Amino acid sequence: MMSQPNKPTETDTITQVLDALLVMLRQMFWYLGRHLKRHPWIFLVSCAAIPIFLLPGHWHPTPHSLKGWEHILPTWSWIAIAGVLVANMGWISIDEQAYIPSSNLDFENALKQAGLWDHPKYRTPQVVLKKEHKNWLEWSITPTVPVDVWTKSDIMHPFCAALGVEKFSRVFRDKHNYIHLVLSRSHFPEQVMSSALLGPLSPRSLALGMSLEGICTVNLDERPHLLIAGQTGSGKSVLVHHIIEQLIRKNWHVQLVDPKGGVDYADLESYLSGEIVSHAEQALPMIESLWELHQERLPRLKQWRVTKWGDALNMGLTDEPDHVLIIDEFAIFANDAKDKAKKELAARAQNLVQNLALGARATGIHLVICTQYPTSDLLGNQLRQQLVPIAGYLESDVASRTVLGEPGAEQLPGQGRFLIRQPQGLVEFQGFLPRV
């Protein structure tokens, strides 16, 4: 006698129903939030129109004159509410087609093309959440297929071809264990000249490059310190060169520590505040002088009753500009020297840098820390929390997690392509080339 398959328990059924409801609620609220963000007036007017139709006084029912649903609302109110809902649904549908062609959203067909539909080894992935923009699309899916399988050419290329793109921009697993597939509808230019920077920027902002959504910037008042990581060929030095150019045009004081002696910045050396130094012994006095400047500026801010040096400049309380210290390779302060004196020097330098990162936001002192080989030993957790992470190509997902908090940098093509952690999440951009 054949055994009967195990029937799902009541608990399993309830769990499946709750999971399905959770996915539906997340998608519903995401669509409502997107509709509100894109068309706030249409959304708000629509929401306001429905209660107006429900207000008493618009109709005067009598018990003998109402039948069926007219006991609840008169017919004209039902028609008006339905009209509002249909109009919004139609608008969302038209708007969706304008952003991402629906023919390109056939996730099931893409899975079949990649051989992941009814795969003998992996369960079929399910979409948990979909984010979309005119230029990119991101799926959050169940982790039934590992990340390394998604990045294999025999899986990635047929899947992406079914959606009209060449390859994934990024594939990564988030802290909730969901896998994210990011596809770009537009292509990054291989080279972007800084002359492409259109329109005035905030006096205290830096333009880093072009993302799919426009110019990628960082405001040094809100996020005063940067961490730039990338291996040889990632474009790190070119990005730093472009940052220095902008700081010089702002008339800020810029000091540079570069173990290579400044060969990548020879054309800028005459505009810097002091000589380029290449050894930890030379860099320590530079860092100590910035710490003394920080200590000297604090009581002045208290006397002026302002909290930021930029505010003091805007109010005309001082004309002293901001100071920026750029360390092109932070590994020169690695605390692994066998010599006791060098070890103490490295420890003091790291301690001062960390203190500046924690407190110098108020006093107009900024840090740009660069490294080729980021490690948690070199970049302590407290220091990393104070820096805006920017990553070019890195050799492993471990290095990417050290800088960005998640993988992704190991998938970059190099040659000036970066990921930056912005308030809304990771943003990919192509760095500007220096002016010629």
Residue 276 lies inside a defined structural domain of this protein: yes
Same domain for 241 and 371, yes or no, is yes
Same domain for 93 and 233, yes or no, is no
Same domain for 199 and 157, yes or no, is no
pLDDT in tens, 108-141: 888 888 888 888 888 888 888 877 766 677 888 8
CB proximity list for 58: less than 8 A, separation 6 or greater? 77
3 state SS of 125: coil
Burial label, 224 (beta-carbon count in 10 A; 0-12, 13-18, 19+)? buried
Residue range 414-425: mean pLDDT, rounded = 87
Distance CA 330, CA 370 (A): 6
**Residue 218: pLDDT band with limits 50, 70, 90:** very high
**CA proximity to 328, closest of 389, 276, 382:** 276
Whole-model pTM: value is 0.66
Distance CA 37, CA 435 (A): 36
**Residue 66: pLDDT band with limits 50, 70, 90:** very low
Q: Which range of residues forms the domain containing residue 113? A: 107-184
Residue 289 lies inside a defined structural domain of this protein: yes
Which residue among 184, 212, 246 closes a domain? Answer: 184
Give me the number of domains the chain comprises. 3
Residue 15 lies inside a defined structural domain of this protein: no
Which residue among 133, 150, 184 closes a domain? Answer: 184
- pLDDT above 50 (res 303): yes
Distance CA 411, CA 430 (A): 14
**Residue 164: pLDDT band with limits 50, 70, 90:** confident
Same domain for 227 and 359, yes or no, is yes
Residue 3 lies inside a defined structural domain of this protein: no
Same domain for 223 and 339, yes or no, is yes
Give the bridge partners for 127, in sequence order.
Answer: 141
In three-state form (DSSP H/G/I as H, E/B as E, the rest C), the secondary structure along 302-334 is HHHCCCCHHHHHHCCCCCCCCEEEEECCHHHHC
CA gyration radius for the chain? 28
Residue 171 lies inside a defined structural domain of this protein: yes
**In the predicted model, what is the mean pLDDT of the chain?**
80
**Residue 101: pLDDT band with limits 50, 70, 90:** very low
Beta strands in 135-265 (DSSP E): 136-141, 170-173, 179-184, 192-193, 205-211, 214-219, 226-229, 253-257
Report the relative pairing of strands 226-229 and 388-391 from DSSP bridges. parallel
Same domain for 171 and 230, yes or no, is no
- pLDDT above 80 (res 90): no
Same domain for 27 and 138, yes or no, is no
Same domain for 279 and 398, yes or no, is yes
Which residue among 117, 150, 184 closes a domain? Answer: 184
Do 236 and 373 touch, CB atoms closer than 8 A? no
| Residue 379, pLDDT score | 84
Same domain for 167 and 230, yes or no, is no
| Residue 118, pLDDT score | 84
- pLDDT above 60 (res 417): yes
**CA proximity to 301, closest of 288, 318, 287, 319:** 318
Residue 163 lies inside a defined structural domain of this protein: yes
Residue 10 lies inside a defined structural domain of this protein: no
**CA proximity to 345, closest of 357, 354, 336, 355:** 336
Same domain for 241 and 296, yes or no, is yes
| Residue 165, pLDDT score | 76
- More confident: 255 or 202: 255
CB proximity list for 86: less than 8 A, separation 6 or greater? none
Distance CA 172, CA 182 (A): 9
- pLDDT above 70 (res 52): no
- Tokens 């669509």 appear where? 31
Please state which of the ranges 5-9, 302-306, 398-402 shows the lowest mean pLDDT.
Answer: 5-9
Same domain for 316 and 345, yes or no, is yes
Distance CA 125, CA 104 (A): 18
Q: CATH number of the domain at 383, please.
A: 3.40.50.300
Residue 427 lies inside a defined structural domain of this protein: yes
Same domain for 390 and 285, yes or no, is yes
